Amino acid sequence: MDAISEEDLALFQQAAQESFQRMVARNQEACPDASSRTFPLVEPDYNAKRPLDLSAFADALAAFDPARAGEIDALLAGKAIPDIQALLEGGDLTSVELVTYYLDRIQRYDVERLNSVIELNPQVLADAAAADAPDPVYTFSHQKVSEVVYAETGTARRRMLHRRAFGILQAMAVSSGELARHALAAGLPAETIRYSLMAGNDALALFAVRVALRHYETARRITEQQGWPETVSGADKQLLYSSLGRAYELSEEWIKAEEIYKAMISYAESIRAPAMECLGLNQLSAIYYLKFNKGEQAVALLERAKKLAEQNGDERWLAETELNLAMVAFQNHDHALTLHHAEQALDIARKLDHPHLMARHLSILSYVYLQQCKWDKLETYATEASRLYTESGNLVLAAESDGNVGFAQMLSGKPQEALATLEKTVAFSSHIENLWGETEQTWKLAITHLELGHYGLAIKLAKKGIEMARQLGLPSALALSLIAGSLVQRKTMSLAAAQETLLENIAASKEHRLFAVVWEWTLTELCAAYASAGNWEQAADYARQRLQAHEDESLLSMGLAGWYETEALLRGGDGDLARA
């Protein structure tokens, strides 16, 4: 590489003083694309958010041409920051158009919905107009010159330059991740933590778990190396622990999630923050009972959290803890204890009149009634949960609840209503590319079309549901999709295929513990499939297994083919079991 001339160095010094922003722009990094999606998510409480004031931009928004908005949509599709800068420099887009475009999106999608924007700079359009105005341009004679000069600049000088860039970029439409990068290079720990948290939350909202982890871990390293800056709020401290733990869960790094929750509990104890401690205890317990199969340890943590919440009069966390106690009981197939804790949790949520908390509790309680085959209560609770989620702008969870409403309608003998409900939820999940939601509702829709005699559609949807479930990689989703597929195969007389499909569920259960209701449904359908094929001996064997698995006689059995069990048992000489 050629040596740097005095002329080049002089140009650098002049450019650094008069137009630093252009040098910084050369170092922008591309934003990774989000491809991984997993559901559900932990959602922050936005009750304290200040309303956004868009009045300063009313004229610009009113004059914004929808056709031009569509053109900008196409221009920005899949573009990273350097690509957008190239559009600006090439004249395909102006700064004023870009800012107005984002303001329009904020007005349409963020207000009372995503709630991700904290505040707006009322002078931003004026700043954009100034950016569009021609100004003196200083450049290096070669790209390598800028890179070498930057590398040779002292640490203190680079820190100062990044600090200036951070101040300038805060007033622009720049991503939180970019601001976090400059804050870190500028030696601003509190600002780095703040924007790393925001960038992590933005990435997690797009299901970009690895990107979110990178941002959260950056903030965590600062706290480990330098301690917590005094200006970081208690809410942000709690958010970092819980979000980092959740991201580890979503990436299936369970040991790291356990470690971060233990650290959260320890820190909360040291500063006497009972709400943070309750959160940590609840999140750690969830790992124990869902992943590590440590039910007793999970209950011990939850009883500790419940006692702490009661001592501090914290009914919010008392409700959350009761709900998790219900989930542990649910995992242990203790239906009476499940309902006891779940209904107590809902009673507290209603008393608090907290819409988001009520919606979450109603949603989970509806799943309890789904597992218990109480279709009327399932429809009632899921309908109320959907309404509350819709009112709060959480359309993803509203669609999930609508799916349960549709399933309840189908099982209650209202297939036409179920069809309308489920078609809407499948379309919505497909539109937002929510693979989990689309998979969950597709198998329900396949069964509904089967009930209506739409066999061609039922076969097509059943196959699609199984394909999506395999892609999703969630054992419970695949198990339910396979059951739905086997039901369609049996009704269309593909009996060997139905048996093969269900036997896959039997094999999978040895590796993944299925919920009791899923296991029973599999056995019921196996009995029906073999009975339909005339193999009554094998059908009777599966009927006996199903009855043995049905521990709670007060509950109905899942599935709509119980008469096959009765006939198989009678043919097998088990009259008493057939009458049970």
pLDDT in tens, 551-572: 554 444 555 677 888 888 888 8
Q: What distance in Å separates the CA atoms of residue 527 and residue 517, rounded to the nearest whole number? A: 15
pLDDT, residue 5, reads 57
Q: DSSP letter at 112?
A: I
Which of 255-264, 368-377, 403-412 is predicted with the least confidence, judged by mean pLDDT?
Answer: 368-377
Give burial (CB, 10 Å; 0-12/13-18/19+) of 579.
exposed
Does pLDDT of 376 surpass 70?
yes
Q: What distance in Å separates the CA atoms of residue 379 and residue 85, rounded to the nearest whole number? A: 51
Most confident of 1-5, 27-31, 49-53, 439-443: 439-443
412-416 mean pLDDT:
93
Q: What distance in Å separates the CA atoms of residue 251 and residue 209, rounded to the nearest whole number? A: 7
pLDDT, residue 405, reads 96
Strand residue runs (E) in 247-403? none
Q: What distance in Å separates the CA atoms of residue 268 and residue 284, rounded to the nearest whole number? A: 14
pLDDT, residue 512, reads 66
Average pLDDT along the chain? 82
Residue 252 CA, distance from chain mean position: 14
Retrieve residue 252's tokens.
Answer: 């299936």
At 23, the pLDDT band (50, 70, 90 cuts) reads very low
pLDDT, residue 32, reads 44
Retrieve residue 296's tokens.
Answer: 């007793």
Q: Which amino acid is located at 348 in the chain?
A: I
Most confident of 74-88, 90-104, 362-376, 428-442: 428-442
DSSP labels, 332-366:
TT-HHHHHHHHHHHHHHHHHHT-HHHHHHHHHHHH
Does pLDDT of 423 surpass 80?
yes
Q: Which amino acid is located at 320 in the chain?
A: E
User: Is the preceding peptide bond at 66 cis, omega within 30 degrees of 0?
Assistant: no
Question: Whose structure tokens read 């790393």?
Answer: 196
At 111, the pLDDT band (50, 70, 90 cuts) reads low
At 167, the pLDDT band (50, 70, 90 cuts) reads confident
**Each residue's pLDDT tens digit, 48-70:** 555 677 888 888 888 888 888 88
Question: Which run of H or E residues covers position 183?
Answer: helix 176-185
Q: Would you say 336 and 345 are in contact if contact means Cβ atoms under 8 Å apart?
A: no
Q: Would you say 341 and 379 are in contact if contact means Cβ atoms under 8 Å apart?
A: no
Does pLDDT of 120 surpass 70?
yes
| pTM for this entry | 0.58
Comparison of pLDDT for 178 and 557, the residue scoring more: 178
Q: What distance in Å separates the CA atoms of residue 150 and residue 155, rounded to the nearest whole number? A: 10
Q: What distance in Å separates the CA atoms of residue 106 and residue 117, rounded to the nearest whole number? A: 8
Q: Would you say 237 and 228 are in contact if contact means Cβ atoms under 8 Å apart?
A: yes
Does pLDDT of 504 surpass 70?
yes
- 262: which residues sit within 8 A by CB, 6+ positions away? 280, 284
Retrieve residue 147's tokens.
Answer: 């890179």
**Closest C-alpha among 448, 385, 388, 462 to residue 420:** 448
Q: Would you say 302 and 285 are in contact if contact means Cβ atoms under 8 Å apart?
A: yes
Does pLDDT of 151 surpass 60?
no
Alpha-carbon dihedral of residues 108, 113, 118, 124, nearest 10 degrees?
Answer: 0
Most confident of 57-61, 103-107, 161-165, 213-217: 213-217
At 2, the pLDDT band (50, 70, 90 cuts) reads very low
204-228 mean pLDDT:
88
Q: Would you say 337 and 329 are in contact if contact means Cβ atoms under 8 Å apart?
A: yes
Please provide residue 279's backbone torsions phi and psi, each rounded to the nearest 5 degrees.
-60, -45
Q: DSSP letter at 55?
A: G
Comparison of pLDDT for 514 and 387, the residue scoring more: 387
pLDDT, residue 115, reads 61
pLDDT, residue 158, reads 67
Alpha-carbon dihedral of residues 410, 416, 420, 422, nearest 10 degrees?
Answer: 20
Q: Would you say 528 and 490 are in contact if contact means Cβ atoms under 8 Å apart?
A: yes
